[in-house]
Amino acid sequence: MAFDYEKWLRPNKLPHIWCPGCGHGIVMKGLIRAMETLKLEKENTTIVSGIGCASRLPGYIDCCTLHTAHGRAAAFATGVKMAKPEMNVILVGGDGDGTAIGGNHFIHACRRNIDMTYIIMNNYIYGMTGGQFSPCTPTGHKASTTPYGNPDPGFDIAKLAIGAGATFVARGTAFHANQIDKLITEAIQHKGFSVVEILDDCPTTYGRRNKFKSVIEMMNRLKEVAVPVKAAEKMTAEQLQGKVLTGVLYKEEKAHYTDEYAKVIERAKAAK
């Protein structure tokens, strides 16, 4: 049976602003399916975003939403979680918003292990602002500000999140649409800061400059580079060259900030 997405969408908001073939819509559908699977209540779910193409997502979903300043999704979301610890807080954003402009907020949200879920749609570029290179643009690839090729190595968001202290890190791709909702479901269920990186395609500002002829070619590239974690165990380092691991990459049970802060409140009350 066709999935009822309308239940979670704001009426009269579609069609959305994303370009033809942009994977953000696929990720949004995955998020909606995950929220439906977990039977989240609209009044008890907040989606927070910064600025950018991916950050337009909360505008279409019918629940509590917050569209904030560039890169500051994690900061605002922390505020929401502290004020209402029972709220399910989901952050969405792009690679530029999350790891460059909001990089500091991102690593500290990881470090504090706040019980939130961050979905980063990594399309390797700043799409909305005109195709400038982001920290995730691969070396040698072109952007509007690196017309002769990007000299910098790109960030590995998953490794960054693990290093900074996030307790659940997963990666999927827009091509593997079926996997997206499973990863997001697991991430929301996890107690602690969970990061889900979804490799995405930007046909307009990234594909066009990097000789991808069509959306299909970009989708096929995602299909080719993705290797599930279990399959990678049997592969040699040579075979894994240029590949990206997908699936749940890291999981750890650890005390999380919201619980710890509740204990601080208890201690402060007892001291009076």
Partner 1 sequence: MEKKLPKIEIIEKYCKGCHICVEFCPTKVLEMQGFVAAVKNLEACIKCMQCELRCPDFAIKVITE
Binding residues for partner 1, rule: CB under 8 A, are 1-3, 5, 9, 14-16, 18-26, 29, 177-178, 214-216, 219
State the minimum distance, in angstroms, from the CB of residue 182 to partner 1.
Answer: 12
State the minimum distance, in angstroms, from the CB of residue 222 to partner 1.
Answer: 12
Question: Do you know the residue count of the chain?
Answer: 272
What tokens were used for 189?
């269920």
Q: How wide is the angle at C-alpha 33 spanned by C-alphas 79 and 186, nearest 5°?
A: 65
Residues 6+ apart with CB under 8 A from 83: none
E strand or H helix at 30, and its extent?
Answer: helix 24-37
State the minimum distance, in angstroms, from the CB of residue 93 to partner 1.
Answer: 18
- Look up residue 14 and give its DSSP letter: P
State the minimum distance, in angstroms, from the CB of residue 196 to partner 1.
Answer: 17
- Pairwise CA distance, residues 272 & 266, whole Å: 10
> DSSP letter string over 152-221?
SPPP-HHHHHHHHT-SEEEEEESS-HHHHHHHHHHHHHSSS-EEEEEE---IIIIITTTT--SHHHHHHH
- For partner 1, give the closer residue by CB, 179 or 210: 179
Residues 6+ apart with CB under 8 A from 59: 10, 13, 65, 67
State the minimum distance, in angstroms, from the CB of residue 89 to partner 1.
Answer: 25
- For partner 1, give the closer residue by CB, 158 or 215: 215
- For partner 1, give the closer residue by CB, 213 or 263: 213
- For partner 1, give the closer residue by CB, 29 or 111: 29
Residues 6+ apart with CB under 8 A from 85: 115, 258, 262
- For partner 1, give the closer residue by CB, 216 or 255: 216
State the minimum distance, in angstroms, from the CB of residue 95 to partner 1.
Answer: 18
- For partner 1, give the closer residue by CB, 8 or 257: 8
